[in-house]
Amino acid sequence: MSLVHYYPGDSFFHKLDPRVKMLWLACMFVLSFIFNHPLHLGVLFISVLFLWIYMKIPFSELKLFFKALTIVAIVTFFFQLLFYPGEHAIVSFSIPRWIPYFGGVTAITIEGLVNGIAMVLRLFIIVLTMPVITMSTSLEHLIISLIRMGMPYEIAFAATTALNLVPVLQSDALKIIDAQKARAFTALERGSFKDKIKAYVPLIVPLMVGSLKKGQQLEVAMESRAFGAYESRTYLTEIRMRSIDYVFAAFFVIITILCLALRILKGFGAFRL
């Protein structure tokens, strides 16, 4: 299983400098909170979907996301629908007070409904924008852009190495499960509640001890190749901002500020009855 799904491509978005892409992400995040109105949020959402399609990301990826988000989306929607304090009721009823949690709810309000939709849209926008970046940018480019933006290389390093080590740990975890099963460890499948809590011990302890010992070896390996020799280092991968990158960066920032201003001054994107 490849952890970071990277789909190389030729699209315009692919070729954008990673820093500009990150700026886009930040702007989308901000915009999704500036807007409250399902219409505006809907437009944002569609623009994200459009990007996914434009970049030719396989549908299977999209399906995965939708599958995983469905439950959270439904729960969020219902919470908003039932519990959001609104004044314009659509349907009135009365849930007796003695019913736990739902007791006392008297109506489903328009505000609740609209807010519910808005929350779901917001959720989707926020969750779907991040993968757009990781799927269109190679890991090396991502890391370089973070470093160019000022991240100390030790941190960038820890991040890429961590990503590469996750599959190793996963396979270690499987080996540990096997070894314990071979000693009749059944708590993963059955057992009392108390057993299940204790079940983590024979699994996580060997995993963490093993990983930290690996850390020791990794330290020696890195030092042996002069890691930390100087304050900085040269990098094989390069990124350069083209003029078009600056143009887009400016574009994103201006739109965001514009929307913010319009929201504050004219209530653009807010939902009012």
In the region spanning residues 91 to 110, those forming contacts with other proteins, defined by CB under 8 A, are 101, 105
Name the minimum Å distance from CB 14 to other proteins: 17
Name the minimum Å distance from CB 208 to other proteins: 6
Taking the least distance from each CB to other proteins, the nearer of 94 and 243 is 94
How far lies 149's CA from each of 15, 131, 160, 237, in Å? 18, 20, 16, 15
* Number of CB atoms found within 10 A of residue 21's CB: 25
Residues in 19-58 at the binding interface with other proteins, rule: CB under 8 A: 25, 29, 33
Q: Is position 186 an interface residue for other proteins (rule: CB under 8 A)?
A: yes
Name the minimum Å distance from CB 17 to other proteins: 19
Name the minimum Å distance from CB 255 to other proteins: 19
Residue 200: partners with Cβ closer than 8 Å, 6 or more residues away: none
91, 182, 265, 273: which one binds other proteins (CB under 8 A): 182
Taking alpha carbons only, the member of 268, 256, 269 closest to residue 25 is 256
- Only one of the segments 10-18, 198-206, 244-252, 256-264 lies at the binding site for other proteins (rule: CB under 8 A); that segment is 198-206
Taking alpha carbons only, the member of 128, 115, 134 closest to residue 46 is 128
| 123-149 burial code (b ≥16 CB/10 A, e <16) | bbbeebbebbbbbbbebebbbbbbbbe
Taking alpha carbons only, the member of 7, 43, 39, 44 closest to residue 29 is 44
- Only one of the segments 11-19, 52-60, 117-125, 243-251 lies at the binding site for other proteins (rule: CB under 8 A); that segment is 117-125
Taking the least distance from each CB to other proteins, the nearer of 10 and 243 is 10
Name the minimum Å distance from CB 218 to other proteins: 4
Residues in 147-176 at the binding interface with other proteins, rule: CB under 8 A: 152, 154-155, 157-170, 172-176
Between CA 89 and CA 111 the distance in angstroms is 8
Taking the least distance from each CB to other proteins, the nearer of 132 and 244 is 132
Residue type, 33: F
Name the minimum Å distance from CB 78 to other proteins: 10
Between CA 217 and CA 211 the distance in angstroms is 10
Query: For residue 167, what is the DSSP state?
Result: H
Name the minimum Å distance from CB 256 to other proteins: 16
Classify residue 8 as left (phi > 0), alpha (psi -120 to 50) or beta.
beta
Taking the least distance from each CB to other proteins, the nearer of 138 and 262 is 138
